């Protein structure tokens, strides 16, 4: 084996293209499953009947089935999605809850499903008392969910990112065409008994420049359709791929160019701190006089007062808006009532097809997450494809056990500031996804010393909150890259150990492990090489290496009927110091442990729960 060459990698949370949920379910380590707690809520049996868009909670109620998770559906969801949810969970459809009613109910729910009409703020996560494990957003935009609060509470947020794309794009095109030809205004005028053919002369689309801001799923579908209408389409999106744009025949341009050259501007970016009021006085001032704006993204991306000013000044000739900063907008909203503005009440995703699709997409994501699968549409957790998960499963168990073991070796358990994890692997650094391993080591380190519940969602947050820095290092080994990892080492620096032999020459508590035949093994403690399967509990003894030690300890344990599963001795040199690792199936009594400590050659010992 060549000398290992250390490489350091920094890991960010990334979303993969896909994941096979069923395989993941079978393999997801139980420690990562989202726990389902005791349930006592009452559920609405009438939920099956798809009622009016926002109905009051159905009148009929049935007692929730014990042992099943409870899913609160707070906004109307398609029947196929509800049917899927009911196969697995108690479903409580309570539409139109006030914030107080939502807070009152949420502590009885394992999952909550909303559309854009329900604000899921920090207050909701706090009121859940830790029971809420999943928030499903039946749609794309997650600006109504406080992601930071969800993450802090270990609550997974999933959305339905694809099922309403076409509906939103079609609505954008409907608004574009309707606005250009004054369809809404002309319709209202004719119904009011007028025949105003001269008043509603429109503008043509062919040959005009359409700037798309936000060239994601909806933006690119709008682009395709606008190309079909003969428009010249440009797009601004700092994160979009030029190749994808080129494939659709769209030129990616700067924000400046989009602002100054467009005849029509269609908005398709999410509402984030960076896009908040992106179209403001300054932006309108740059636009071509007579520009027309379409917004099916979020109201907040436009400074609505600035838009009214731009309309009044004639900079913006017309606007067609599906979304508003406050929904519903005030009845006397100048913007909504403006004669050059066409409005719809957030209907972008509202087609029969899209709503059925979204309902199924979110029901699958929520039930998958409640089953412990790593949902493909998770918004606040790293996603690991099923094949990677399958490969890593035994290493994930090893990682948690090493973290749990290392922290129990710290004298007093507290004061941990930094944990260093080293992954030794023959794989290239970018061919090994360590996010799961890192989360599980964090879980192993934090849970024994606190009452925190740590999962994949909140591992990084919880570590940071406790001032624990988890750093990762890669050692590139020679050998076959078929096995993802050769060993994992966990080190805790700047602490004292209750088992001083666990401190390596460089001064850190050090434990190392490998997976052998699918079973995690402890292979090193401090400088001592051992080999003990990490099941049950473990006794570590440091002794003078001499004959009869295994027998002495074994017989003390035997007297109390404690079954020894594994024994391994690691020594520096014959007849010098040795560390004996003893795996036990049962927890020995204090008296038995005291007897072990009294064996003359034993200099240190510690009992550890794995
Ligand atoms: N009106 C509706 O009913 C309706 C329906 C669906 C989606 N939406 C809204 O549309 C948004 C887009 O949906 P999507 O499915 O296309 O999402 P998406 O994530 O596929 O696309 C969003 C795009 O915006 C880009 N973006 C981010 N910041 C930007 C910035 N500062 N400037 C320009 N582009 C930026 C991203 O890079 C991404 O490509 C959603 O977030 C949602 O708010 C509304
Ligand atoms: O972000 C979305 O998916 C759309 O805005 C749709 O929202 P809705 O689910 O409230 O219709």
- ipTM score for this prediction: 0.99
Phi, psi at 451, each rounded to 5°: -100, 15
CA separation for the pair 388, 476 (Å, rounded): 19
> Cβ of 85: how many Cβ atoms within 10 Å?
27
> Cβ of 105: how many Cβ atoms within 10 Å?
21
pLDDT band at 31 (very low <50, low <70, confident <90, very high): very low
**Helix axis angle, 386-408 relative to 435-446, nearest 10°?**
30
The stretch 509-524 carries a mean pLDDT of 95
Q: To test the ligand 2 pocket, which listed residue (141, 271, 300) has its Cβ within 8 A of the most ligand atoms?
A: 141
Q: To test the ligand 1 pocket, which listed residue (164, 216, 252) has its Cβ within 8 A of the most ligand atoms?
A: 216
Indicate which atom in ligand 2 lies nearest the CA of residue 298: 5
> Percent of the chain, pLDDT > 90?
64
The stretch 246-254 carries a mean pLDDT of 96
Tens digits of residue pLDDT in 251-272: 999 999 999 999 999 999 999 9
Per DSSP, 315 falls in state S
The stretch 3-19 carries a mean pLDDT of 28
237 lines ligand 1 (CB under 6 A): yes
Which residue's alpha carbon is at the smallest distance from atom 18 of ligand 1? 216
346 lines ligand 1 (CB under 6 A): yes
Indicate which atom in ligand 2 lies nearest the CA of residue 139: 3
| Ligand 2 proximal residues by C-beta, below 6 Å | 115-117, 138-141, 164, 346, 348-350
**Predicted pLDDT of residue 67:** 84
Enter the pTM of the model. 0.76
pLDDT band at 383 (very low <50, low <70, confident <90, very high): low
For the chain, give the mean pLDDT: 86
Indicate which atom in ligand 1 lies nearest the CA of residue 167: 5
In terms of C-beta density within 10 A (0-12 exposed, 13-18 middle, 19 or more buried), how is residue 407 classed?
Answer: buried
Indicate which atom in ligand 1 lies nearest the CA of residue 298: 43
The stretch 429-454 carries a mean pLDDT of 86
CA-closest candidate to residue 171, choices 294, 314, 28: 294
pLDDT band at 50 (very low <50, low <70, confident <90, very high): very low
User: Which residue would you say has higher pLDDT here, 478 or 64?
Assistant: 478
Which residue's alpha carbon is at the smallest distance from atom 35 of ligand 1? 214
Q: How far is the CA of 278 from the centre of ligand 1 (A)?
A: 13
pLDDT band at 63 (very low <50, low <70, confident <90, very high): low
**Predicted pLDDT of residue 574:** 61
pLDDT band at 64 (very low <50, low <70, confident <90, very high): low
Q: How far is the CA of 56 from the centre of ligand 1 (A)?
A: 31
Instruction: List the single range of 110-114, 347-351, 372-376, 497-501 with lowest mean pLDDT.
Output: 372-376
Indicate which atom in ligand 2 lies nearest the CA of residue 323: 5
For residue 358, is pLDDT > 90?
A: yes
Which residue's alpha carbon is at the smallest distance from atom 5 of ligand 2? 141
Instruction: Name the closest ligand to CA 137.
Output: 2
Q: Where are the alpha helices (DSSP H) in 249-382?
A: 255-261, 281-286, 304-312, 334-337, 352-370
137 lines ligand 1 (CB under 6 A): no
Could you tell me which residues come within 8 angstroms of residue 277 by beta carbon, excluding any fewer than 6 positions away? Answer: 300, 301, 302, 303, 306
For residue 511, is pLDDT > 70?
A: yes
CA separation for the pair 244, 249 (Å, rounded): 9
Instruction: Name the closest ligand to CA 174.
Output: 1
The stretch 453-462 carries a mean pLDDT of 85
User: Which residue would you say has higher pLDDT here, 277 or 7?
Assistant: 277
Q: How far is the CA of 186 from the centre of ligand 2 (A)?
A: 28
Tens digits of residue pLDDT in 550-604: 788 888 888 888 888 888 887 766 666 788 888 898 888 888 988 888 888 888 8
CA separation for the pair 261, 283 (Å, rounded): 12
Q: How far is CA 376 from CA 29, 69, 389, in A?
A: 17, 21, 13
Instruction: Name the closest ligand to CA 116.
Output: 2
> Percent of the chain, pLDDT > 70?
87
301 lines ligand 1 (CB under 6 A): no
Instruction: Name the closest ligand to CA 273.
Output: 1
Indicate which atom in ligand 1 lies nearest the CA of residue 218: 16
Could you tell me which residues come within 8 angstroms of residue 372 by beta carbon, excluding any fewer than 6 positions away? Answer: 25, 28, 30, 32, 33, 34
Burial state string for 33-44 with b = 16 or more CB within 10 A and e = fewer than 16? bbbbeebebebb
168 lines ligand 1 (CB under 6 A): yes
**Predicted pLDDT of residue 41:** 30
Q: How far is the CA of 346 from the centre of ligand 2 (A)?
A: 7
Q: How far is the CA of 80 from the centre of ligand 2 (A)?
A: 18
Asked if 253 and 234 count as a contact pair (C-beta separation under 8 A), the reply is: yes
Q: How far is CA 139 from CA 101, 113, 165, 365, 573, in A?
A: 23, 10, 9, 12, 65
The stretch 195-212 carries a mean pLDDT of 98
Q: How far is the CA of 271 from the centre of ligand 1 (A)?
A: 8
Tens digits of residue pLDDT in 174-202: 999 999 999 999 999 999 999 999 999 99
Q: How far is the CA of 265 from the centre of ligand 2 (A)?
A: 20
Active site residues: 298, 327, 346
**Predicted pLDDT of residue 413:** 63
338 lines ligand 1 (CB under 6 A): no
Instruction: Name the closest ligand to CA 359.
Output: 2
The stretch 487-508 carries a mean pLDDT of 94
Q: How far is the CA of 3 from the centre of ligand 1 (A)?
A: 49
Dihedral of the alpha carbons of 519, 524, 530, 535, in degrees to the nearest 10:
-30
Q: How far is the CA of 109 from the centre of ligand 2 (A)?
A: 23
User: Which residue would you say has higher pLDDT here, 180 or 450?
Assistant: 180
The stretch 270-284 carries a mean pLDDT of 96
Indicate which atom in ligand 2 lies nearest the CA of residue 168: 4
The stretch 154-169 carries a mean pLDDT of 95
**Predicted pLDDT of residue 466:** 87
The stretch 390-412 carries a mean pLDDT of 92
Tens digits of residue pLDDT in 409-439: 999 766 899 999 999 999 887 788 888 899 9
């Amino acid at each position: 084996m060549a000398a290992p060459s250390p490489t350091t990698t920094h890991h960010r949370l990334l979303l993969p293209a896909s994941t096979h949920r069923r395989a993941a379910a079978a393999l997801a380590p139980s420690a990562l499953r989202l726990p389902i707690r005791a349930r006592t809520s009452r559920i609405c049996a009438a939920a099956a009947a798809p009622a009016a868009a926002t109905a009051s909670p159905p009148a009929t109620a049935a007692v929730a089935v014990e042992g099943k998770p409870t899913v609160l559906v707070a906004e109307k969801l398609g029947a196929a999605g509800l049917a899927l949810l009911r196969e697995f969970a108690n479903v409580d459809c309570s539409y139109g809850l006030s914030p107080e009613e939502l807070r009152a109910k949420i502590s009885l729910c394992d999952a909550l499903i909303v559309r854009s009409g329900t604000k899921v703020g920090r207050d909701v996560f706090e009121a859940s008392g830790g029971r809420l494990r999943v928030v499903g957003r039946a749609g794309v935009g997650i600006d109504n969910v406080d992601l930071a609060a969800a993450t802090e509470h270990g609550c997974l947020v999933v959305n339905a990112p694809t099922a309403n794309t076409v509906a939103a794009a079609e609505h954008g095109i409907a608004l574009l065409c309707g606005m250009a030809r004054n369809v809404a205004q002309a319709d209202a005028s004719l119904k009011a008994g007028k025949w105003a053919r001269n008043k509603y002369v429109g503008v043509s689309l062919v040959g005009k420049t359409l700037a798309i801001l936000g060239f994601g799923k909806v933006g690119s579908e709008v682009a395709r359709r606008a190309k079909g209408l003969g428009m010249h389409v440009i797009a601004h999106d700092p994160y979009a791929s030029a190749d994808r744009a080129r494939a659709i025949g769209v030129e990616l341009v700067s924000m400046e160019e989009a602002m100054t050259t467009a005849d029509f501007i269609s908005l398709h970016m999410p509402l984030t701190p960076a896009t908040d009021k992106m179209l403001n006085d300054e932006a309108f001032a740059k636009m071509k006089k007579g520009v027309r704006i379409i917004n099916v993204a979020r109201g907040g991306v436009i400074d609505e007062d600035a838009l009214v000013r731009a309309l009044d000044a004639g900079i913006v000739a017309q606007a067609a808006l599906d979304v508003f900063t406050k929904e519903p907008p005030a009845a006397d909203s100048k913007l909504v009532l403006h004669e050059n503005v066409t409005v719809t009440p957030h209907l972008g995703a509202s087609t029969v097809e899209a709503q059925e699709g979204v309902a199924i997409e979110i029901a699958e994501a929520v039930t998958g997450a409640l089953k412990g699968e790593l949902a493909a549409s998770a918004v606040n957790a790293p996603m690991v494809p099923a094949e990677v998960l399958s490969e890593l499963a035994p290493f994930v168990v090893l990682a948690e056990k090493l973290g749990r073991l290392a922290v129990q070796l710290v004298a007093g358990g507290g004061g941990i500031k930094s944990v260093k994890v080293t992954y030794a692997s023959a794989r290239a650094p970018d061919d090994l996804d360590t996010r799961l391993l890192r989360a599980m080591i964090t879980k192993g380190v934090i849970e024994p010393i606190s009452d925190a519940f740590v999962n994949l969602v909140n591992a990084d947050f919880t570590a940071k909150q406790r001032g624990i820095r988890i750093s990762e290092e890669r050692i590139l080994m020679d050998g076959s890259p078929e096995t993802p990892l050769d060993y994992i080492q966990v080190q805790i620096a700047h602490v004292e150990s209750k088992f001083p032999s666990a401190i390596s020459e460089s001064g850190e508590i050090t434990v190392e492990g490998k997976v052998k035949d699918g079973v995690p093994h402890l292979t090193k403690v401090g400088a001592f090489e051992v080999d003990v399967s990490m099941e049950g509990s473990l006794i570590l003894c440091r002794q003078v290496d001499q004959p009869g030690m295994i027998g002495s300890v074994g017989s003390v344990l035997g007297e109390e009927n404690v079954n020894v599963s594994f024994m391994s001795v690691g020594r520096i040199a014959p007849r010098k110091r040795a560390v004996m690792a003893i795996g036990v199936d049962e927890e020995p009594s204090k008296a038995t442990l005291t007897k072990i400590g009294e064996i003359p050659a034993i200099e240190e010992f510690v009992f550890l729960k794995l």
